[in-house]
Amino acid sequence: MSTTTTLAPESPYQSYVYAYPHKTAYRPLQPRPLLADLWALESRHALSLYAHIPFCEVRCGFCNLFTRIGAPDGMTTAYLDALERQTVRVAAALGPEARFAQAAFGGGTPTFLTARELERLCDIVELRTGTDLQTIPLSVEASPATATADRLAVLAARGATRLSLGVQSFVEQEARAAVRPQQRSDVETAIARVRAARIPVLNLDLIYGIDGQTQESWLHSLDAALAWEPEELYLYPLYVRPLTGLARRDHGDLTHDAAWDSQRLALYRSGRDHLLAAGYEQVSMRMFRRTAAPQAGGTEYCCQTDGMIGLGCGARSYTGALHYSFDYAVSMTQIRGIIDDYVSRPAEDFDRAEVGWAMDAQESRRRHLIQSLLQAEGLDSADYRNRFGTLAEDDFAAELDRLHGRGWLDDSATAGGRLRLTPEGLAHSDAVGPALFSARANAAMASYQAK
């Protein structure tokens, strides 16, 4: 196996690796392959489905997701029309034997859609793919402002098992500093509505490293969240990414700011310890689950595995040989153009993949290593051997030696047949993940022109 970048980053916060590689590595596919050919030899009996709704009522200052603010009259209808055309063609390419084992609606903010539009989204998925959402885990993202009773009632009735609410902070001045203006009373009211809707799993997202945040205010936000006994909590370090609202402010280059790194690391550790003491188990650097809480298909990588079907522009799909999507952008102007193009496409244009990243055996092994190591339970060596016919310890000896040399690899887990990060290694997940990227992926991402 080829080696990767040197595992000695100055900052523990290089980037959040929620998929390998990042979409900035994707390139236009020439010729554009037919989806029917891509999926012909793939297992289709337990697929994952992801529908992307690229609209938000406001764009948070830290957000670089594929989403636009608001929607002109008729835009959401046109978007759902296009999503239905795409779903019909994708279902035809998959064939009648395709079955979905889990689903997720993300964005953006899926609950930007009205209650009636959410009904239509569920109808599209069910009628066009033959999937009964009541029988599989369904995770949906929401914001406090859009988690209204009528929308939640629709989601609960249609089988939603998990609702993820982006709170970020219960301290109003911190929310404003993150360009997420909201009143705590409105947040609490939204959480109460989610609980009243009786959706089994409530996840709350919180952010640390916000300008002006202290240990005391961070623990205050955690305690405010814990008062609702959420089944899951995600703790995200703040990033200032290019072309985002915070980047346009006078922040300078915080990518390698040592003081900010130290603050975020200290807040992470205090937050982690606080949740562990409160009866939560750590699933990854970001995800914490209340002990004995139900699982609802909401783990970090539930939608990042092979056999993933993405619907809507902004969504990715994964086969064993190719990861593919539509064009990617961060700036509002570019995103609006991509969405306008998507809603105007004829049905037959959805028969082919557009941009993507070709996977080979080596990249598949690397992806499995990264995704597994960034989970608290780590990589099962026997499972890796059964899947690839080799040992991860041999395939990535140099990379694992570097982890071990920094004290980030758990020797006791290795002896038990697992490769697992130590608590300190897990704390540095945002340095570990990027350092394991291949030279090919790094070169593609480095040459991407941000837009």
CATH code of the domain containing 370: 1.10.10.920
If one compares 76 and 330, the residue with the highest pLDDT of the two is 76
The residue whose two tokens read 């694992």 is 400
Mean pLDDT lowest among 41-45, 296-300, 399-403, 407-411:
296-300
Give a yes or no: residue 117 inside a domain: yes
Q: pLDDT-based confidence at 69, cuts 50/70/90?
A: confident
Q: Which residues contact 127 (CB under 8 A, 6 or more apart)?
A: none
Q: pLDDT-based confidence at 2, cuts 50/70/90?
A: very low
Give a yes or no: residue 349 inside a domain: no
If one compares 241 and 131, the residue with the highest pLDDT of the two is 131
The structure tokens listed for 130 are 């033959």
pLDDT by residue (tens digit) across 391-428? 999 999 999 999 999 999 998 877 789 999 999 999 99
Give a yes or no: residue 2 inside a domain: no
pLDDT at 8 over 90: no
> What's the CA gap between 133 and 126, in Å, rounded?
7
What is the domain range of residue 63?
A: 25-290
Of 259, 290, 321, the residue that ends a domain is 290
Please state the rounded mean pLDDT for residues 307-326.
95
Bridge partners of residue 357, in order along the sequence: 323
Write the DSSP string, 11-80. -S-S---SSSS-GGG-EE-SSPPBHHHHHTTS--SSEEEEEEE-EESS--TT--SS-EES--TTHHHHHH
CB 308 within 8 A of CB 316: yes
- What count of Cα atoms within 13 Å lies in the side-chain half-sphere of residue 125? 29
Please state the rounded mean pLDDT for residues 225-254.
79
CATH number of the domain to which 30 belongs: 3.30.750.200
Query: What pLDDT shows up at residue 320?
Result: 93
Write the DSSP string, 351-399. GB--EEEE--HHHHHHHHHHHHHTBTT-EEHHHHHHHHSS-HHHHTHHH
Query: What pLDDT shows up at residue 305?
Result: 64
Query: What pLDDT shows up at residue 3?
Result: 35
Please state the rounded mean pLDDT for residues 142-158.
97
The structure tokens listed for 271 are 């937050």
> What's the CA gap between 160 and 170, in Å, rounded?
25
> Which segments within 169-209 are labelled E, that is strand?
201-208
pLDDT at 179 over 90: no
Give a yes or no: residue 65 inside a domain: yes
Mean pLDDT lowest among 41-50, 55-64, 382-391, 411-420:
55-64
Where b means 16+ CB within 10 Å and e means fewer, 155-168 reads bbebbbbbbbbbbb
Total domains in the chain come to: 2
CB 212 within 8 A of CB 263: no
Share of the chain above pLDDT 90, in %: 80
Of 228, 261, 290, the residue that ends a domain is 290
pLDDT at 340 over 90: yes
Q: Both 66 and 178 in a single domain?
A: yes
Please state the rounded mean pLDDT for residues 238-245.
75
Q: pLDDT-based confidence at 178, cuts 50/70/90?
A: confident
Q: pLDDT-based confidence at 243, cuts 50/70/90?
A: low
Q: Both 285 and 403 in a single domain?
A: no
Of 290, 323, 345, the residue that ends a domain is 290
Q: pLDDT-based confidence at 297, cuts 50/70/90?
A: low
Residue 138's SS3 state is strand
Please state the rounded mean pLDDT for residues 261-283.
97
Please state the rounded mean pLDDT for residues 5-29.
82
- Determine the number of helices (DSSP H) and then strands (DSSP E) in the chain: 18, 17
Q: Closest Cα partner for 98 from 137, 134, 138, 125?
A: 125
- The DSSP letter of residue 253 is -
How far is CA 323 from its chain centroid? 15
Give a yes or no: residue 371 inside a domain: yes
**Mean pLDDT estimate for the chain:** 91
If one compares 303 and 225, the residue with the highest pLDDT of the two is 225
Query: What pLDDT shows up at residue 125?
Result: 98
Give a yes or no: residue 72 inside a domain: yes
Give the pairing type, strands 138-142 and 100-107. Answer: parallel
Please state the rounded mean pLDDT for residues 106-131.
97
Residue 122's SS3 state is helix
Query: What pLDDT shows up at residue 450?
Result: 83
Q: Both 118 and 264 in a single domain?
A: yes
Give a yes or no: residue 333 inside a domain: no
Please state the rounded mean pLDDT for residues 102-106.
96
Please state the rounded mean pLDDT for residues 339-343.
96
